Amino acid sequence: MSYPKSEDRSQVEYALEIEGLLAALTSQLVKAGPDGDLATARVKAVRMLSESVGMIVLSRALAAANPSLSDEILRASGRT
């Protein structure tokens, strides 16, 4: 892996943390899955993380201006 300029080091660290999180989630999905397919589990892990982060970002961005919509997003995601 080549590293970007030093001012971008935080992005590298962040990417490494996300990769670790996705690896752990993928591993759990492989174990829980009926066929243990790594590629399918990785896609599902990326989807799950992306949807969760998006839900949190949207909900928090709307919380003050439109609390009911913020709550609706959380309810729709099954997180309330």
Q: What is the pLDDT of residues 10-19, one digit of tens each?
A: 899 999 999 9
Q: Which of these, 17, 44, 19, lies nearest to 30 by C-alpha position?
A: 44
Contact 22, 49 (CB under 8 A): yes
The predicted model scores a pTM of 0.78
Angstrom distance (rounded) from CA 68 to CA 10: 35
Q: What is the pLDDT of residues 33-45, one digit of tens each?
A: 888 899 999 999 9
